Chain A
Amino acid sequence: MTAAQAIERAAGAAGRARYGEGALIICDNLVRIYKVADLEVVALQGLDLLVDKGEVIAIVGASGSGKSTLLNILGGLDTPSAGRAVVAGNDLGQMGRRERTRYRRRVTGIIWQQTDRNLLPYLTALENVELPMILDGARDRRRRATELLGLVGLADRAEHRPERLSGGEQQRVAIAVALANRPKVLLADEPTGELDSVTSADVFGLLRRVNAELDVTVVVVTHDSLVSEQVGRTVSIRDGRTSTETVRRTEQTDEGEHRVIAEEFAVLDRAGRLQLPRAHVETLSLRDRVRLRLEEDHVGVWPDTSRNGHAKGHDAGHDQEGSR
Chain B
Amino acid sequence: MGGMVAWIGLTFRRLRDERSSAIAFFVLVLVSSLLASIAPRLLDRVADTTLRSELLAQPVAPRSVQLIEEERINPSSDDPMGGAKDIAATLYARLPPEVRTVVSEQAIVADSGRYRVTAKLNDPTTMRLRIQPGAENRIQMVAGRMPTNAIETDPSYTIEVAIAATSATALHAAIGDTVPLELDTSDPLVGRSHGNPILAKIVGTFEVTDPDDPWWLGDGGLAGPVTRQVSADAIVIDTTALLTPEEYPRLLDATSSGLAAGDIPTPIRLTFREYVDPALIREADLPTLVPALRKLESTYPNANVRRNGVVTVGDQPVALRTGLRAFLVAHAARWSAALKILSVTAVGPAAVGLAALALAAAFAGRRRRAALSLARGRGASMAQIGLAVIAEAILVSIPAAFVAGAITVLLLPDGAALGAVRMAVLVGAVAAVILTFVTLPGVRVAALGGGRENARPLRPSARRLVFEGLVIVLAVAGTVLLRQRGVAAASSAGSLATADPFIAAVPALAGLAAGLLAVRLVPLIVLPLARIARAGRGLVALLALRRAAAGGTAGMLLVLLATSTIGAFSVGAIVDLDRAADTVAWHQVGADYLVSGTDGPLLAHYDFATVPGVQAAATMFRGRGSIANNGAIPDIAAIDLDHYDDVTVGTPAADLLPAALFGPAIEPLPVVVSDTMAARPDGMKVGDTVRIRIQGYSFDAKAVASRPTFPGLEDTSLFIIVNRDQLTALFPTAPLQASYAFLRAGPDAAAGIRTTISASMSATVKGRAELLASLREAPVVQAIRLGIAAAAIVAAIYAALAVAVALVLAGSARAIELAHLRTLGLGNGQASGVLLAEHLPAIVVAFTGGLALGVGLFTALAPGLGLDALVGAEVALSPPIDVGLLAMTAAGLVVVVLLGLGLGMLVGRSSSPVAALRRGFE
A: which residues have CB within 8 A of B?
34, 36-37, 41, 68-69, 72, 75, 77-78, 97-98, 101-102, 104-106, 110, 112-118, 120-123, 127, 130-132, 134-138, 141, 163, 177, 181, 189
- CB neighbours (8 Å) of B3 from chain A are 134-138
Q: Give the CA-CA distance A318 to B420 in the complex, in Å.
A: 97
- CB neighbours (8 Å) of A131 from chain B are 10, 375, 378
Q: Give the CA-CA distance A121 to B919 in the complex, in Å.
A: 7
- CB neighbours (8 Å) of B381 from chain A are 98, 101, 135
- CB neighbours (8 Å) of B384 from chain A are 135
Q: Which of B455-480 contact A (CB under 8 A)?
A: 455, 457-458
Q: Mark B374-386, 1 if CB is under 8 A from A, else 0.
A: 1101111110100
| A260 nearest CB across to chain B (Å) | 32
| Contact across chains for B445 and A134 when beta carbons are under 8 A apart | no
| Contact across chains for B921 and A116 when beta carbons are under 8 A apart | yes
Whether B120 is near chain A, meaning CB under 8 Å from some CB there, is: no
| Contact across chains for B371 and A101 when beta carbons are under 8 A apart | no
| B196 nearest CB across to chain A (Å) | 104
Residue of A102, A123, A141 touching B379 (CB-CB under 8 A): A102
Q: Give the CA-CA distance A97 to B384 in the complex, in Å.
A: 13
Whether B13 is near chain A, meaning CB under 8 Å from some CB there, is: yes
7 CB-based A-B contacts, threshold 8 Å: A36-B452, A37-B455, A110-B377, A135-B381, A138-B3, A163-B915, A163-B918
- CB neighbours (8 Å) of A177 from chain B are 378
Given A116-B370, A135-B375, A163-B919, are A122 and B17 neighbors across the interface (CB < 8 Å)? yes
| Contact across chains for A116 and B14 when beta carbons are under 8 A apart | no
| Contact across chains for A106 and B449 when beta carbons are under 8 A apart | no
Given A34-B452, A132-B379, A136-B379, are A120 and B7 neighbors across the interface (CB < 8 Å)? no
Whether B448 is near chain A, meaning CB under 8 Å from some CB there, is: yes
- CB neighbours (8 Å) of B445 from chain A are 77-78
Q: Give the CA-CA distance A113 to B450 in the complex, in Å.
A: 13
- CB neighbours (8 Å) of A141 from chain B are 6
| Contact across chains for B447 and A122 when beta carbons are under 8 A apart | no
Q: Give the CA-CA distance A104 to B445 in the complex, in Å.
A: 11
- CB neighbours (8 Å) of B377 from chain A are 75, 77, 104, 110, 117
Q: Give the CA-CA distance A177 to B374 in the complex, in Å.
A: 12
| Contact across chains for A121 and B379 when beta carbons are under 8 A apart | no
- CB neighbours (8 Å) of A104 from chain B are 377-379
| Contact across chains for B374 and A117 when beta carbons are under 8 A apart | yes
Whether B453 is near chain A, meaning CB under 8 Å from some CB there, is: yes
Q: Give the CA-CA distance A181 to B446 in the complex, in Å.
A: 22
Residue of A77, A101, A110, A130 touching B380 (CB-CB under 8 A): A101
**In the complex, residue of chain A having the shortest beta-carbon distance to the beta carbon of B450:** A68
Q: Give the CA-CA distance A116 to B773 in the complex, in Å.
A: 68
- CB neighbours (8 Å) of A135 from chain B are 3, 7, 375, 378-381, 384
| B272 nearest CB across to chain A (Å) | 77
Whether B537 is near chain A, meaning CB under 8 Å from some CB there, is: no
- CB neighbours (8 Å) of B18 from chain A are 122
Interface centre among B384, B450, B457 (most CB of A within 10 A): B450
- CB neighbours (8 Å) of B447 from chain A are 68-69, 72, 77-78
| Contact across chains for B378 and A36 when beta carbons are under 8 A apart | no
Whether B920 is near chain A, meaning CB under 8 Å from some CB there, is: yes
Whether B605 is near chain A, meaning CB under 8 Å from some CB there, is: no
- CB neighbours (8 Å) of A134 from chain B are 3, 6-7, 10
- CB neighbours (8 Å) of A41 from chain B are 452
Given A36-B455, A117-B374, are A68 and B449 neighbors across the interface (CB < 8 Å)? yes
| Contact across chains for B920 and A115 when beta carbons are under 8 A apart | yes
| Contact across chains for A101 and B918 when beta carbons are under 8 A apart | no
Residue of B382, B458, B919, B920 touching A114 (CB-CB under 8 A): B920
| Contact across chains for B370 and A101 when beta carbons are under 8 A apart | no
- CB neighbours (8 Å) of B375 from chain A are 120, 131, 135
Given A34-B452, A189-B449, are A181 and B10 neighbors across the interface (CB < 8 Å)? no
- CB neighbours (8 Å) of A122 from chain B are 13-14, 16-18
- CB neighbours (8 Å) of B7 from chain A are 134-135
| Contact across chains for A121 and B921 when beta carbons are under 8 A apart | yes
Interface centre among A37, A97, A117 (most CB of B within 10 A): A117
Q: Give the CA-CA distance A106 to B450 in the complex, in Å.
A: 24
- CB neighbours (8 Å) of B920 from chain A are 114-116
- CB neighbours (8 Å) of B458 from chain A are 37
When A and B form their complex, which 3 residue pairs have the shortest distance between CB atoms, in order from nearest? Answer: A105-B379, A122-B17, A137-B3
| Contact across chains for B378 and A37 when beta carbons are under 8 A apart | no
| Contact across chains for A112 and B448 when beta carbons are under 8 A apart | yes
| A174 nearest CB across to chain B (Å) | 11
Q: Give the CA-CA distance A113 to B374 in the complex, in Å.
A: 13
Residue of A77, A112, A115, A127 touching B10 (CB-CB under 8 A): A127
- CB neighbours (8 Å) of B450 from chain A are 68-69, 72
- CB neighbours (8 Å) of A118 from chain B are 374
- CB neighbours (8 Å) of A97 from chain B are 382
| A67 nearest CB across to chain B (Å) | 11
Q: Give the CA-CA distance A110 to B445 in the complex, in Å.
A: 14
Q: Give the CA-CA distance A33 to B495 in the complex, in Å.
A: 67
| A114 nearest CB across to chain B (Å) | 7
Q: Which of B236-250 contact A (CB under 8 A)?
A: none
Q: Give the CA-CA distance A36 to B447 in the complex, in Å.
A: 13
| B291 nearest CB across to chain A (Å) | 62
- CB neighbours (8 Å) of A123 from chain B are 10, 13
- CB neighbours (8 Å) of A136 from chain B are 3, 379
Given contacts A101-B379, A120-B14, 15 further A-B contacts (CB under 8 A): A37-B458, A69-B450, A72-B450, A77-B448, A104-B378, A106-B379, A114-B920, A116-B921, A117-B374, A120-B371, A131-B10, A131-B375, A132-B378, A135-B380, A189-B449
Residue of A102, A105, A112, A127 touching B449 (CB-CB under 8 A): A112
**In the complex, residue of chain A having the shortest beta-carbon distance to the beta carbon of B7:** A134
Interface centre among B16, B378, B920 (most CB of A within 10 A): B378
Q: Give the CA-CA distance A132 to B376 in the complex, in Å.
A: 10
**In the complex, residue of chain A having the shortest beta-carbon distance to the beta carbon of B920:** A116
- CB neighbours (8 Å) of B378 from chain A are 104-105, 131-132, 135, 177
| A179 nearest CB across to chain B (Å) | 12
Q: Give the CA-CA distance A101 to B444 in the complex, in Å.
A: 12
**In the complex, residue of chain A having the shortest beta-carbon distance to the beta carbon of B448:** A117
**In the complex, residue of chain B having the shortest beta-carbon distance to the beta carbon of A38:** B457
- CB neighbours (8 Å) of A72 from chain B are 447-448, 450
Q: Give the CA-CA distance A246 to B449 in the complex, in Å.
A: 27
Q: Mark B115-131, 1 if CB is under 8 A from A, else 0.
A: 00000000000000000
Q: Give the CA-CA distance A68 to B451 in the complex, in Å.
A: 11
| A38 nearest CB across to chain B (Å) | 8
| A259 nearest CB across to chain B (Å) | 37
| B418 nearest CB across to chain A (Å) | 38
| Contact across chains for B380 and A120 when beta carbons are under 8 A apart | no
Q: Give the CA-CA distance A118 to B378 in the complex, in Å.
A: 9
Q: Give the CA-CA distance A62 to B478 in the complex, in Å.
A: 59
- CB neighbours (8 Å) of B915 from chain A are 163
| B384 nearest CB across to chain A (Å) | 6
Q: Give the CA-CA distance A101 to B377 in the complex, in Å.
A: 8
Q: Give the CA-CA distance A116 to B375 in the complex, in Å.
A: 12
Q: Give the CA-CA distance A207 to B656 in the complex, in Å.
A: 98
Q: Give the CA-CA distance A131 to B374 in the complex, in Å.
A: 11
- CB neighbours (8 Å) of A116 from chain B are 370, 920-921
| B689 nearest CB across to chain A (Å) | 78
**In the complex, residue of chain B having the shortest beta-carbon distance to the beta carbon of A98:** B381
Q: Give the CA-CA distance A78 to B445 in the complex, in Å.
A: 8
| A101 nearest CB across to chain B (Å) | 5
Given A114-B920, A134-B10, are A181 and B379 neighbors across the interface (CB < 8 Å)? yes
- CB neighbours (8 Å) of A121 from chain B are 17, 919, 921
Q: Mark B883-922, 1 if CB is under 8 A from A, else 0.
A: 0000000000000000000000000000000010011110
- CB neighbours (8 Å) of A137 from chain B are 3
Q: Give the CA-CA distance A250 to B7 in the complex, in Å.
A: 47
- CB neighbours (8 Å) of B446 from chain A are 77
| B385 nearest CB across to chain A (Å) | 10
- CB neighbours (8 Å) of B455 from chain A are 36-37
